[in-house]
Amino acid sequence: MTEAMIRPATMRMEDGSAAEVRTIPVKQEKTGNKVRMIIDGDLKTLIDRPHPG
């Protein structure tokens, strides 16, 4: 995976509002289905960190 694969998306919340999120495509090993994984939690923290250099 590379940062170039990260894409913005709009996620519908339970209350009907919308939230902007970032996603990355992944392919499920067992079924081969392509899905978009929302980047949040520790992964978001890691990606948002300033890069050296």
The pLDDT tens digits of the residues spanning 13-47 come to 999 999 999 999 999 999 999 999 999 999 899 88
Q: Is residue 53 part of a domain?
A: no
Max alpha carbon distance in the chain (Å)?
A: 42
Q: Which of 42, 41, 5 is nearest to 25 (CA)?
A: 5
In a domain, 26, yes or no: yes
On whether residue 35 sits in a domain, the answer given is: yes
Question: CB neighbours (10 Å) of residue 31?
Answer: 8
- Full domain range(s) for residue 21: 3-48
* Cα–Cα distance for residue pair 4/52, rounded to 1 Å: 18
Residue 31 maps to a domain: yes
Q: Taking the complete model, does pTM exceed 0.85, yes or no?
A: no
pLDDT bin (cut points 50, 70, 90) of residue 1 is confident
Q: What is the pLDDT of residue 12?
A: 94
Q: What gap in Å lies between CA 38 and CA 19, rounded to an integer?
A: 12
- The total of structural domains in the chain comes to 1
**pLDDT grade for 52, boundaries at 50, 70 and 90:** confident
